[in-house]
Structure 1
Amino acid sequence: MNKKDFLDFLKQNILVLDGATGTELQKRGMPNGVCPESWAIENPDVIVDIQKDYINAGANAVYTCTFGGNRIKLSEFGLGDKVVEINRKLAQLSRKAVGENGFVGGDLAPTGQFVRPFGDMPFEEAVDIYKEQVKGLLEGGVDFFVIETMMDIQEARAALLAVKESCDLPVCVSMTFDENGRTLTGTDPVSALIILQNLGADVVGCNCSTGPEDMIKIIRSMKPYAKVPLLAKPNAGLPRLIDGKTQFDMESEEFGSYIREFIEAGVNLLGGCCGTSPLYIAQIRKNINGLIPIPPEPKEICAVASARKTVFVDANEPVVVVGERINPSGKKKLQEELRQGMTSLVRQFAIEQVEKGANILDVNVGMPGIDEKETMVKVIELLSSMSDAPLCLDSSSPEVLEAALRIYPGRALINSISAEKVKLEKLLPIAAKYGAAFILLPLNDAGVPKSGKERCHIVEEVFNEALKFGYTKKDIIVDGLVMTVSADQEAALETLNVIEWCTNNFGCGTIVGLSNVSFGMPERAWINSAFLAMAIGYGLTMAILNPSSDTLMSIKMASDVLKAKDKNSKKYIEYFAALVSDKPVIPEKKDTASPVEKIYESVVKGDRENVRKFIDIALKDGIEPSVIVDKHLIPAITHVGDLYDKKEYFLPQLIQSAETMKEAFGILEPLLEKESEGEKNSKVGVVLATVKGDIHDIGKNIVGLMLKNYGFEVYDLGKDVSAEEIVKKVKETKAPIIGLSALMTTTMLEMKEVVNLVRKEGLSAKVMIGGAVVNADYAKEIGADGYSEDAYAAVKLASKLSET
């Protein structure tokens, strides 16, 4: 199926997808603990019958039984060298099942590992892993691809690029969001949509984690910005333990009652996830009769996004501030750090600029004496993990920009593309491949035109080329090119004319860098400030400036109020309330903080690079290791947990802080042992395991990391662990706490087996559980002592249980 036919079908029809596969396989004889992909190949009639049942129930398409068909997952069963063969055979079985009556979607799913910058897996390794799976699915004859149940936007990007670089078939990407509307790594639905549709996804949506009611809310949030059709595959409500079996609490008829609401919210592809069966798909088919899909009608607005935040650029939105300080030009200390491969100042500048009001961070690392590509990638990985602000990537090198765009887990803004022949020919295709928005410089090989009218002609020229790559006027931001008034007093007026034309005639956003306008003049700040106010009056939508300038930021805030862009003057009031606050002024840590304060700050900010240096200084100053741990490290990681609870921090920051804590403990632990020689080890033990039959351990690993950094002794047994092995380890270690994880409805019952065996053996150990398919009610049903929804909650629960 080519993309045109696929999208034409979606214009006229709701594409009904299949339901759950794993639970259906289990119902029909698949035992726990086996590789589903391998078992389906060994029992071909079972998977064919399941998929035929879905087609007969009214599905237009089925997903191949390849959810765990990637090299990482198959290697758990010793099948890592058979990826292509397994995927090919399973795609062929799906083709046999649907015949001419339906479509086959090649299923790609998480590897179970986080991709850099949110984890350890190199981005290109992730792309290669998915390409291997794509190859087998293509050989098996799939009609389209679906990348599903993605918790990490970077892994979703890797899989999407793997498909796009392997074939021209349509590709859908489906993320999974928690009850707070975020993925595990903190991506919200709108940011996920912006990133994925601009990277080339033909369909974007969500599946798993929630039932219909909550998923409809997610679809509604996406719809106003969706340029592509939307997909939804909700669970059949919540899992419950009934008569010793895991069942979901929503019957098929109730599930079907939400179908009209899904279509009215904007869904074009609809199916079921965990707990659904052919009965549920029959309800979808029944309830879509007479309904037609709502076509994409996105708002005409420019959007750039990080993995956790979208910034909109538009004449009706507040002026967007682009922080200019991450640029080595004129900054000797930053130059020296970058040459040494250090990023302390980059981190500091990023934090300070965002705190002062920068919405986007400009990143330029170009200078003599460094590998610009390597440095740019390193800085992007750092900033993507520690900051929510989207990035503006500033380089004249096509090679550097491609490397940066490829690994950036967001939709970047490129600074910049002009009508210069080399830039237009090399940069525009790169920007289009990765879906970046870009700043358009109205200059050509002859230089910068003096008149605004000539610059406007160049804008049209570049845009006409961009049209060929699918760009719209809302994907570009025109730089008015500010020249110095000391050399030409008409220069500022010409720039203002360009801004006005772009705003009122051409219809795109605009940006200026302020400092050049006043070059060579005395008291330059006044000229810069006046020019900013005038430019905003002419329609300016973005400004590159130093947000530490109170004057410039105050003018920006006031202008947003006067142009009715700041609803109820909320941001203006917040900004000036902070300036006149009665709170004591806290000295900047970088200048006056003590070594132990810097240790605290390093953990909070996840600054693993510098924590060793600050610990060394503190130790030389005579501060005891135990004091560093008890008075500074533990309070710091506790504060990080509080920020995580408040949703001010997300998993990437949590992991960064935990890794910094780990680094600090690695330095101090030998010294602590000397301090406490002869004393009994007081650490509380926790036996951790993913239960029998379940090979998912990413959540458990994060919990283990956090527990260790809060002072617990962790005995990690790994994944697919039997109740007998867990109880044996508890007896051996006398650990008072057991932590169990399960990510599959087919394995959550094993948790009850562990609880029963613990009680049977008369052990006093407390059992806590976690995982995507379980909840607090389930913990009560099986007799567990508690449930934690995430890693930090697990730490708090373990602390509570250790006191009882």
Structure 2
Amino acid sequence: MSSHTPNPGNHDTTFLSAMARRVLVGDGAMGTMLQAADLTLDDFAGLEGCNEILNDTRPDVLEQIHRAYFEAGADAVETNTFGCNLSNLGDYDIADRIRELSYKGTAIARGVADEMGPSADGTARFVLGSIGPGTKLPSLGHTTFGVIRDAYFECVAGMLDGGADAVLIETSQDLLQVKAAVVAARAAMDELGRRIPIISHVTVETTGTMLLGSEIGAALAAIEPLGVDMIGLNCATGPAEMSEHLRYLSRHARIPVSVMPNAGLPQLGPNGAEYPLQPDELASALSTFVGEFGLAFVGGCCGTTPEHIRQVAAAVAEATKADRDPAHISETSSLYSAVPFDQDASFLVIGERTNSNGSKAFREAMLAEDYQRCLDIAKEQTRDGAHMLDLNVDYVGRDGAADMTALASRFATSSTLPIMLDSTEPEVIRAGLEALGGRCAVNSVNYEDGDGPESRFSRIMSLVVEHGAAVVALTIDEEGQARTADWKIRVAERLIADITGNWGLAEEDIILDTLTFPISTGQEEVRRDGIETIEAIRRLHEAHPDVHFTLGISNISFGLNPAARQVLNSVFLHECVQAGLDTAIVHASKILPMNKIPDEQRDVALDLVYDRRGAAGTRSEGREDYDPLQKLMELFEGVSAASARESRAQELARLPLFERL
């Protein structure tokens, strides 16, 4: 197979440039046209139903189809490569031909595009490399991320060799499959030295979600940070059922939005599926979408024909494209739903109990490989009010990557919450990212061993960028963990400049952890640690309002009675939130609202946080020897956390039904 690009003509940014000038029109269905071509089993080389083999056996048929769509007014056609993936071609025992058939399918379309030349207004004819989802979904355990990524690499490499102008990852049902295809596409472009745009089209069923249950908000939250150039919908339904999902994308996506619907919902007819939407009806719907949602690219999917595209092109040419002013949301997501960093009435609660270092119950369940118990702990945190889960499997003597794969792959479909992957080991982080289709946060990076190309910082940041994750950055440098506010700020500014300037993330993608240390030991050198942390958050928040902040709150109270810890943690958290903290790694049910803490306990805890000893203390009663640490320990001597506060569930259970809701 040749690696020569056959006269690719206009490519790379040309497709995006043309789309910025006017709405571009894609083609219609490939399968519908092939079914009408009266092909024989010999045409399929005995591989009945394998459309991709026609790239080798009947290029003339495909040329006719591409030409018909161009003549109808399409600006771009999709290659006959939808099934050039491992699961589809593997079913025919020709998986070794992925790259070859991808190349041939792309070269056929490229040849027709070049033959046709520019359209009447001078716009070039474009070739979109079609990548379908295959029949095996990684989030459901049918295959692994690595296996389908490597197969997609071969597919995209063939498209690049064949002269594609863009890659279209379409009919996607699983966000993890989308991620694998995008990662593969970028790797292929890097290896072959040619960069073209990436388009992502997801398929939303009549249920209102993708096949695996993903809401459109979850899809946008997970896909846009991967760096794709356009996002949209195709297949499954007609335009009517896509309207609200397109409205969401139009309002919130910072990249162009597109659509390629079926010709209505399929109906069962004497010859199988039939699509009822007539060309004028599709044209009316798509031109309305352009005028209402500001779509940049439209076309057709199943059941659409050159006549559909002819009328769509004419209608869109007359439409006035709406201006879009998207309201971007800074967020993470699970496979199912997105969770904004900015919560309306709370900080973002990151559940701490799915951490093998911080939770004995979780560690024991993990070591026993009692994964159901691990999932139960995750669900308990969800019920307690967590918005995200901190997943840490690091344990001496264990294969962390294997543990992470086992747990993250189960959390992916059994928990509705996004995951913060918590590890010091790059390969453990990689295992988590390759198991989770939603947008994760990675905890964490720091400068403990510097920032050179082989440092943990660089290795983890490479994964963060590749998978479109958010990142927790700790104020640790080569000298150690920053203790004073000035030191914390100095390291934080270096991290922010590095992550945005050298790694291309936005400030909103950074979650700073300015570190907190126990102020409960009585040692003089730790007395101001709470003050220094709060001051660092306040000053950094003022300087970088888009950056997020987090803390492992319970560190502040290490060693105290559990009831005293609950109060001190709650008071310290409140003060940090007032300073600008917007996320925290906590056990949600063990955080008390300030108005639920007795005055004396709250005042003494505040005295301890702000190191108000002697007469300066709120509860000193003028005593020069007043020590809030000693006073707090006295207040909680013999008091258990259970007796100090009823559980949130018990508290809610006492309320009348409508108040509880």
Aligning the two structures, in what range does the TM-score lie when normalised by the shorter sequence?
Answer: 0.7 to 0.9
CA distance in 2, matches of 1:127, 1:37: 19
User: Helix, strand or coil for the counterpart of 1:155?
Assistant: helix
CA distance in 2, matches of 1:463, 1:2: 35
CA distance in 1, matches of 2:328, 2:177: 28
- The 5 Å alignment of 1:392-403 reads 392-403=420-431
User: Helix, strand or coil for the counterpart of 1:407?
Assistant: coil
Equivalent residue number for residue 529 of structure 1: 570
Q: Does 1:186 align with 2:213?
A: yes
Distance change (3 Å), C-alpha of 1:108 and 1:490: same
Equivalent residue number for residue 57 of structure 1: 72
User: Does structure 2 conserve the Cα–Cα contact (< 8 Å) formed by 1:92 and 1:141?
Assistant: yes
| 1:464 Cα deviation after fit | 1.1
Equivalent residue number for residue 533 of structure 2: 495
User: Aligned AA for 1:85?
Assistant: E
User: Does structure 2 conserve the Cα–Cα contact (< 8 Å) formed by 1:417 and 1:439?
Assistant: yes
Distance change (3 Å), C-alpha of 1:14 and 1:299: same
Equivalent residue number for residue 28 of structure 1: 37
Match of 1:289 among 310, 317, 334: 317
Root mean square deviation of aligned Cα? 2.7
Distance change (3 Å), C-alpha of 1:509 and 1:45: same
User: Does structure 1 conserve the Cα–Cα contact (< 8 Å) formed by 2:183 and 2:466?
Assistant: no
User: Does structure 2 conserve the Cα–Cα contact (< 8 Å) formed by 1:210 and 1:238?
Assistant: yes
User: Helix, strand or coil for the counterpart of 1:544?
Assistant: strand
Q: Does 1:120 align with 2:142?
A: yes
Q: Does 1:427 align with 2:460?
A: yes
Tell which deviates more after alignment, 288-297 or 508-517.
Answer: 288-297
For structure 1, list consecutive stretches of 5 or more residues without a partner in the other structure. Answer: 557-573, 584-804
For structure 2, list consecutive stretches of 5 or more residues without a partner in the other structure. Answer: 1-9, 42-47, 119-124, 190-194, 598-647
Equivalent residue number for residue 457 of structure 1: 490
User: Does structure 1 conserve the Cα–Cα contact (< 8 Å) formed by 2:179 and 2:467?
Assistant: no
User: Does structure 1 conserve the Cα–Cα contact (< 8 Å) formed by 2:262 and 2:303?
Assistant: yes
| 1:279 Cα deviation after fit | 1.7
CA distance in 1, matches of 2:305, 2:461: 47
So what's the TM-score if we normalise by structure 1?
Answer: 0.66
Equivalent residue number for residue 445 of structure 1: 478
User: Aligned AA for 2:251?
Assistant: P
Q: Does 1:18 align with 2:45?
A: no
| 1:29 Cα deviation after fit | 1.9
Of all paired residues, the percent bearing the same amino acid is 30
Equivalent residue number for residue 322 of structure 1: 350
So what's the TM-score if we normalise by structure 2?
Answer: 0.79
| 1:169 Cα deviation after fit | 2.4
Equivalent residue number for residue 786 of structure 1: none
Distance change (3 Å), C-alpha of 1:183 and 1:396: same
User: Aligned AA for 1:17?
Assistant: G
Corresponding residue pairs, total:
565
Tell which deviates more after alignment, 100-109 or 380-389.
Answer: 100-109
CA distance in 2, matches of 1:292, 1:485: 63
| 1:192 Cα deviation after fit | 1.1
Match of 1:519 among 543, 558, 561: 558
Distance change (3 Å), C-alpha of 1:97 and 1:416: same
Tell which deviates more after alignment, 10-19 or 40-49.
Answer: 40-49
Q: Deviations over 1:402-440 (max 9, x none)?
A: 232233211111112224413433322221121110112
| 1:296 Cα deviation after fit | 6.8
CA distance in 2, matches of 1:296, 1:445: 46
Q: Does 1:91 align with 2:113?
A: no
User: Does structure 2 conserve the Cα–Cα contact (< 8 Å) formed by 1:394 and 1:414?
Assistant: yes
Equivalent residue number for residue 385 of structure 2: 357
Equivalent residue number for residue 652 of structure 2: 578
User: Does structure 1 conserve the Cα–Cα contact (< 8 Å) formed by 2:567 and 2:592?
Assistant: no
Q: Does 1:155 align with 2:177?
A: yes
CA distance in 2, matches of 1:245, 1:376: 45
Equivalent residue number for residue 133 of structure 2: 110
| 1:290 Cα deviation after fit | 5.5
User: Does structure 2 conserve the Cα–Cα contact (< 8 Å) formed by 1:41 and 1:89?
Assistant: yes
CA distance in 2, matches of 1:252, 1:555: 64
| 1:514 Cα deviation after fit | 1.5
| 1:41 Cα deviation after fit | 4.0
| 1:484 Cα deviation after fit | 2.8
Q: Deviations over 1:263-286 (max 9, x none)?
A: 231322211111111122222222
CA distance in 1, matches of 2:297, 2:257: 6
Equivalent residue number for residue 238 of structure 1: 265
User: Does structure 1 conserve the Cα–Cα contact (< 8 Å) formed by 2:569 and 2:591?
Assistant: no
| 1:22 Cα deviation after fit | 0.8
CA distance in 1, matches of 2:456, 2:252: 30
User: Aligned AA for 1:363?
Assistant: L
CA distance in 2, matches of 1:317, 1:160: 36
User: Does structure 2 conserve the Cα–Cα contact (< 8 Å) formed by 1:177 and 1:206?
Assistant: yes
User: Does structure 2 conserve the Cα–Cα contact (< 8 Å) formed by 1:315 and 1:539?
Assistant: no
Q: Deviations over 1:698-725 (max 9, x none)?
A: xxxxxxxxxxxxxxxxxxxxxxxxxxxx
Q: Does 1:509 align with 2:548?
A: yes
Equivalent residue number for residue 479 of structure 1: 513
CA distance in 1, matches of 2:68, 2:534: 65
Q: Does 1:266 align with 2:294?
A: yes
| 1:21 Cα deviation after fit | 1.0
- The 5 Å alignment of 1:686-705 reads none
Equivalent residue number for residue 16 of structure 2: 7
Q: Deviations over 1:268-316 (max 9, x none)?
A: 2211111111122222222222656567754354211111111100275
Q: Deviations over 1:328-349 (max 9, x none)?
A: 2265554444334442432221
CA distance in 2, matches of 1:5, 1:469: 26
Match of 2:241 among 186, 192, 214: 214
| 1:241 Cα deviation after fit | 5.1
Distance change (3 Å), C-alpha of 1:277 and 1:321: same
Distance change (3 Å), C-alpha of 1:319 and 1:240: same
CA distance in 2, matches of 1:431, 1:158: 14
Q: Deviations over 1:507-527 (max 9, x none)?
A: 122212221222355622221
User: Helix, strand or coil for the counterpart of 1:366?
Assistant: coil
CA distance in 1, matches of 2:517, 2:59: 71
Q: Deviations over 1:166-212 (max 9, x none)?
A: 11322112111112321111111111122122123222211011111
User: Does structure 1 conserve the Cα–Cα contact (< 8 Å) formed by 2:349 and 2:387?
Assistant: yes
User: Does structure 1 conserve the Cα–Cα contact (< 8 Å) formed by 2:552 and 2:586?
Assistant: yes
Match of 1:418 among 446, 450, 453: 446
User: Aligned AA for 1:580?
Assistant: R
User: Helix, strand or coil for the counterpart of 1:325?
Assistant: coil
Match of 2:584 among 537, 543, 550: 543
Equivalent residue number for residue 411 of structure 2: 383
CA distance in 2, matches of 1:63, 1:9: 17
User: Helix, strand or coil for the counterpart of 1:93?
Assistant: helix
Distance change (3 Å), C-alpha of 1:294 and 1:408: farther
Match of 1:254 among 272, 281, 300: 281
CA distance in 2, matches of 1:533, 1:331: 23
CA distance in 2, matches of 1:404, 1:549: 28
User: Does structure 1 conserve the Cα–Cα contact (< 8 Å) formed by 2:177 and 2:437?
Assistant: no
| 1:368 Cα deviation after fit | 0.9
Distance change (3 Å), C-alpha of 1:2 and 1:371: farther
CA distance in 2, matches of 1:227, 1:555: 42
Distance change (3 Å), C-alpha of 1:576 and 1:55: farther
User: Does structure 2 conserve the Cα–Cα contact (< 8 Å) formed by 1:175 and 1:207?
Assistant: yes
CA distance in 2, matches of 1:338, 1:241: 49
Q: Deviations over 1:131-169 (max 9, x none)?
A: 232233233222211111111222222222221111132
CA distance in 2, matches of 1:526, 1:577: 17
User: Aligned AA for 2:137?
Assistant: F
Match of 1:48 among 63, 73, 94: 63
User: Helix, strand or coil for the counterpart of 1:185?
Assistant: coil
